[in-house]
Copies of this chain bind each other. A is one copy, B any other.
Amino acid sequence: MKKSFGSKTFVLPSPTWIICAYDPTEKPTGAAVAWGGICSSVPPCVVVCLRKATYTHGCIMERKAFTVNVADEAHAVEADYFGLATGRKVDKFTLSGLTAVKGEKVDAPYIDEFPLIAECRVTGISEVGIHTQFVGEIIDIKANEDILDPEGLPDPEKVKPLFYMASVRSYYGIGGPVGKAFDIGKKIGK
């Protein structure tokens, strides 16, 4: 027998991403986002959901570009700050001590200190509830060399991505590997 909670956002887990864009004065800004996810394999696309009230929302609408910056455990405080302050009033990069680097492929800045980032071009905009869904085609993934595994791929245990857990409004870290996808289930039905 399961306990009922009604209409809540407790569908765990959520990512912790900083979505960055330039404002009209070329100031880099960004917002912490837990609502969103990968939404297509071909072409690789991500959906990120921002309230219209956020400063970053208007910046993305203007330039149709953003970066997804995967927050890691080492930058949990900075990531949370990007969800508390508003780019309308402050320069979040300067105050948090993070470095904005101009995107190579899109007209948006990324966070140099974050281990894994995606440069995205907006290909779709729609409204769901109080949020705008921005679909971004992933033009390029960039990763720090020191978080790559022996095969040269981003190693989740080295990236140490933050997870946002809506039921308790807290961040969590990653544990160990559990199994290979498209593999461990093969034993069923054999």
Contacts and interface: CB of A to CB of B under 8 A. Distances in A.
Interface of A: 1-15, 17, 34-47, 49, 68, 70, 73, 76-85, 90, 95-96, 104, 116-118, 123-124, 126, 128-131, 133, 135, 137-145, 148-149, 152-157, 159, 161-189
Contacts of A117: 2
Contact of A128 (B4, B73, B124): B124
Contact of A189 (B68, B90, B161): B90
A63 B144 CA distance: 45
Contact of A11 (B80, B118, B144, B163): B118
11 contacts: A2-B143, A2-B145, A5-B154, A7-B137, A8-B138, A40-B49, A80-B184, A82-B185, A169-B182, A170-B180, A171-B177
A153 B141 contact: no
